[in-house]
A and B are shown apart, each in its own frame.
Chain A
Amino acid sequence: MTALAGASGRDARAFTIEARLLKARKAVLWSVAASAIVLAVMVLAGLGFGAVRISPAVSLSIGLSKLGLPTFAEFTARDDLILSAIRAPRTALGMLAGGALALSGAALQGLFRNPLADPTLIGVSSGAALGAVAVIVLGAPAAALLPTYLQASLLPTAAFCGGLAAIGIVYVIAQHDGGTNIATLLLAGAALTAICGAGIGLFIFLGDDQQIRDINFWMLGSLSGANWKALAPAAALILAGMLGILRFGAALDALSLGEADAHNLGFEPEKLKRWLIVCCALATGAAVSLTGVIGFVGLVTPHVVRMMIGPGHRALLPTSLLLGGALMLAADILSRTVAAPAELPIGIVTAAIGGPFFLWLLVRGRGQGGW
């Protein structure tokens, strides 16, 4: 700024640019704050609603007792168990998984400059599904070799590795002349999804009745398997991936001008592509390994957010993260209550609500053009 001092015209222009930047930063803050409030409300609802009625006072007392603080309402061991061993890990998983899918969706749509991109498109989900299905059908002998405390982690680990392997293959295929060809990446993702589909079909053929039902439930997704032991390692991976993606907001904005312009603005598109894909694979791979395949959250959330606050990635990424978590929790509350005491797979809820809602948004926004 000091270098420009003296030339009053330039100074005024710099001032307006600065004011604009300030305004943009404020808009980011506002949308993040508003979506954080929505998420907080959904977290409280997720903890508060359930088949067993637990009053807010009791829930609060249980929370306080966990922190070693004095409580004001009596609670039973059963209420404590339900809140701390069932609802809390489930809510945490829903928040993390929804956030990871929506954030990855937003980042991949920006990276591919394609409104249809989402984590399923680049092969992560189908690779994870193939890994999980393989364990469901063939895993019993392998699990018998493992110590008991590792048996439960066999399926999530296989799903995570499957997701990572799929995206790795897609990425390597798309490498050409020292660059990543985005079109090849998308097409290779589609091809790998088809190959994984064939593999899943084969395992369904090999599986017995119960295994086929297990596969079916896994493919429709559920948060009901949430427990702290399984969540801890996955949460670390998801959070690491999320933090990585959030750092690329400005770079994705620059990329929307095209790779050459982004390069001229001082960003390195190749580095961006590589790290963004690694981060998305980590976050969604870890999330899907615990929840199964949950569609539509990753695709729809970023579009909804864009329609509300515009396409700037610095606001879009954190807002998608927070609202994706909120959307997942809302869907989970429905999945738990609609068919109670049974539970509807959450993938059915997200697709049944997300699909029509998305269509409505499309029809409403037809005249405005662009995504």
Chain B
Amino acid sequence: MRRFTRVLIVAHCLGLPLWSMMALAEPAKRVISIGGDITEILFAIGAGDRIVAVDTTSRYPAAALALPNVGYMRQLSAEPILALAPDHIIAVADSGPKEVIAILRQAGVRFTEIPDAPSVEGALAKIRAVAAAADSVEAGAAFASSISARIDAALAAVPQGQAKPRALFLFSVGRGGLMAGGETSSADAMIQLAGGRNIATGFSGYKPFEPEAMLAADPEIIIVTERTMAALGGVEEIRAQPQFAATQAARTGRIVAFDGALLLGFGARLASGIEHLTAAFYPEAARPSGKPE
């Protein structure tokens, strides 16, 4: 008998939060999206019209650029966000500072933090989590499975048993040198995912890459961001530069440019990113389904 009462009390305690969560579950109408990947997913699952503001990393789709901007995701400030009267803030993990997040939660705004991992599973989990946060679970599930199917198809087209192309991801910062995507970088994850071998090893994250190391590793294919391509003046200019000239990639002209967020975002456009990267790695086997999104 006593045990039964205890069970009742526990159930009651569990039930209360459940009830309050169900009360919250009616779709938020004023969402603030923090993180470029979160914004892309919200637009992709049809929740874009509910977004009232984004952060500076949200640069896709074009509609996101027209929205009010609350600043960089890690330097948010509480008052301007509260002034927009949001009823839900959906933020990628690592948004901050912590004190500001604490004040936002204290102000009674629903706040959801979305975990972030640079892998296919991570991206699919991210899509489902964002969809759940935006109360569009079904749209999210459908979108995640379509992405998953496209990725499977793209990876199935990668020929097996063949030597993996030696690839290098580069981007330029201002007029300075070029930064390469080393181990544990999202560029490294994408290269491996699409069946390539990253030659920028021995360091983690994005670091300036030494020109001689580039010659020694001799990349077959060089991947750059579109901004970097524009800054360097196009494929022919890059091929003519002495640090590139002797590499196989420069000799054969295999220098490709992608939108940085498409390639490295691990969000709504992951399938498109993988399709185009596999096509760049294995031009004779893989075919992308259309232009980059």
What are 13 inter-chain pairs, A to B, with CB distance below 8 A? A77-B108, A87-B79, A152-B98, A152-B99, A205-B208, A207-B205, A213-B75, A217-B75, A341-B80, A341-B83, A342-B70, A343-B71, A343-B80
Min CB distance, B160 to chain A, in Å? 33
* B74 and A210 contacting across the interface, CB-CB below 8 Å: yes
User: A interface, how many residues as a size bin?
Assistant: 20 to 34
Min CB distance, A340 to chain B, in Å? 6
Contact of A225 with B99 at beta-carbon distance under 8 Å, contacts A51-B79, A81-B106, A81-B107 already known: yes
Chain B residues within 8 Å of A, Cβ to Cβ: 53, 56, 68-72, 74-75, 77-84, 94, 97-100, 103, 106-108, 204-208
Min CB distance, B289 to chain A, in Å? 30
4 smallest CB-CB distances across A and B, nearest first, come from A342-B71, A341-B80, A51-B83, A51-B80
* A227 and B56 contacting across the interface, CB-CB below 8 Å: no
Q: Which residues of chain A are within 8 angstroms of B98 by Cβ–Cβ distance?
A: 152
Chain A residues within 8 Å of B, Cβ to Cβ: 50-53, 77-78, 81-82, 85-87, 152, 205, 207-210, 213-214, 217, 222, 224-225, 227, 230, 336, 339-343
Q: Which residues of chain A are within 8 angstroms of B77 by Cβ–Cβ distance?
A: 224, 336, 343
* B106 and A85 contacting across the interface, CB-CB below 8 Å: yes
Bound form: Cα–Cα A225–B75 in Å: 9
Min CB distance, B101 to chain A, in Å? 12
* A86 and B79 contacting across the interface, CB-CB below 8 Å: yes
* A209 and B205 contacting across the interface, CB-CB below 8 Å: yes
Q: Which residues of chain A are within 8 angstroms of B70 by Cβ–Cβ distance?
A: 341-342
Q: Which residues of chain B are within 8 angstroms of A86 by Cβ–Cβ distance?
A: 78-79, 103
Q: Which residues of chain A are within 8 angstroms of B79 by Cβ–Cβ distance?
A: 50-52, 82, 86-87, 336
**Chain A CB within 10 Å — which of B56, B68, B107 has the most?**
B107
Bound form: Cα–Cα A9–B79 in Å: 68
Given contacts A52-B83, A82-B78, 18 further A-B contacts (CB under 8 A): A53-B83, A77-B108, A78-B107, A86-B78, A86-B79, A152-B99, A205-B208, A208-B204, A210-B94, A214-B74, A224-B77, A230-B99, A339-B71, A341-B53, A341-B70, A341-B83, A342-B71, A343-B75
Contact of A222 with B75 at beta-carbon distance under 8 Å, contacts A81-B107, A209-B206, A210-B94 already known: yes
Bound form: Cα–Cα A336–B98 in Å: 19
Complex: chain A residue closest to B68, CB-CB:
A341
Contact of A78 with B94 at beta-carbon distance under 8 Å, contacts A85-B106, A343-B71 already known: no
Bound form: Cα–Cα A51–B71 in Å: 14
Bound form: Cα–Cα A209–B182 in Å: 12
Which one of B72, B100, B103 lies within 8 Å of A217 (CB-CB)?
B72
Q: Which residues of chain A are within 8 angstroms of B103 by Cβ–Cβ distance?
A: 81, 85-86
